[in-house]
Amino acid sequence: MTNDTPTYAAMRPSAVSSLAGELRLACMRISRRVRYESTHTVAPHHFSVMCRLEETPRTPGELAEIERVSAPSMTRTVAGLAELGYVERAQDPTDKRQVIVSLTPEARQVLKDIRRKRDAWMSVRVSHLDPEEQAVLKRATAILTKVAAE
């Protein structure tokens, strides 16, 4: 029986720990800057819920579970989004006790605008890197995507 798992020369545990800490901080700083540079009237928790609804309409309970918040907290978030005109609530046709929350066309446009601003900010930063750094960043992006999926 063979082991198909690839083996790699391992870093010392202390070096792995140090790298993990540096990576976490760098990711947090980038995330914070991207959010800051694309200032908009949408609060971070509203943006997160809007992104979830972009995938498919959901019940408030599903949203609460996905976002890992309490049901009352999600009810307040959905109410806030409705006040802003970003979501519509409708009765579930298969279960009259449930409410289905979906994005409005305005909300979809807001999401596009926010992403465009964030991508523009990041594009400027990446364009200042030399070609070798850009290639390393491209490879690192694939690796970070893999790490995030695990």
Would you say domain 14-149 falls under CATH 1.10.10.10? yes
CA distance 96 to 127: 52
Single out the residue of 98, 100, 58 nearest to residue 67, CA to CA.
58
Which of 73-82, 87-96, 125-134, 135-144 is the least confident region?
87-96
Average pLDDT rounded to a whole number, residues 102-123: 94
In the chain, where the domains are located: 14-149
pLDDT at 13: 82
CA distance 119 to 113: 10
pLDDT at 63: 97
CA distance 53 to 42: 15
Torsion-angle region of 104 (φ positive above 0: left; ψ -120 to 50: alpha; else: beta): beta
Residue 1 pLDDT exceeds 60: no
Instruction: Give, in degrees to the nearest 5, the angle at Cα 48 between 27 and 127.
Output: 40
Average pLDDT rounded to a whole number, residues 91-114: 93
Q: Binning pLDDT at 50, 70 and 90, where does residue 4 land?
A: low
Residue 130 pLDDT exceeds 60: yes
pLDDT at 150: 78
Q: Binning pLDDT at 50, 70 and 90, where does residue 112 land?
A: very high
